């Protein structure tokens, strides 16, 4: 798995809420909800896995993790 750099800026969208953060903050358990934090971490892991398996690496991912609908995009 190719890890994203710690300072990579990310946009997290869930339901009607969106916010900007970094890979370092996501991995550092940024949220107050343990389940939401775990869901965003799972989405980040899925994005990193997807980036290693293709020639044209995706810059985002969307799906359900631990019951949360999450869209995670790399901000360029």
User: What pTM did the predictor assign?
Assistant: 0.88
pLDDT tens digits for range 28-74 = 877 778 999 999 999 999 999 887 766 667 789 999 999 999 999 99
**CA 41 – CA 29 distance, rounded (Å):** 8
- Give residue limits of the domains in the chain: 9-74
Residue 36 to residue 13: CA distance in whole angstroms: 12
How many whole angstroms separate alpha carbon 6 and alpha carbon 24? 5
Token couple for 41: 């971490």
Contact 29, 20 (CB under 8 A): no
């Amino acid at each position: 798995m190719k890890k994203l750099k710690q300072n990579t800026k990310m946009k997290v969208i869930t339901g009607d809420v969106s916010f900007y953060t970094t890979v370092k903050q996501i991995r550092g358990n940024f949220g107050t909800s343990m389940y939401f934090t775990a869901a965003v971490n799972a989405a980040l892991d899925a994005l990193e896995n997807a980036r290693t398996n293709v020639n044209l690496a995706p810059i985002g991912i969307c799906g359900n993790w631990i019951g949360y609908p999450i869209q995670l995009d790399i901000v360029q």
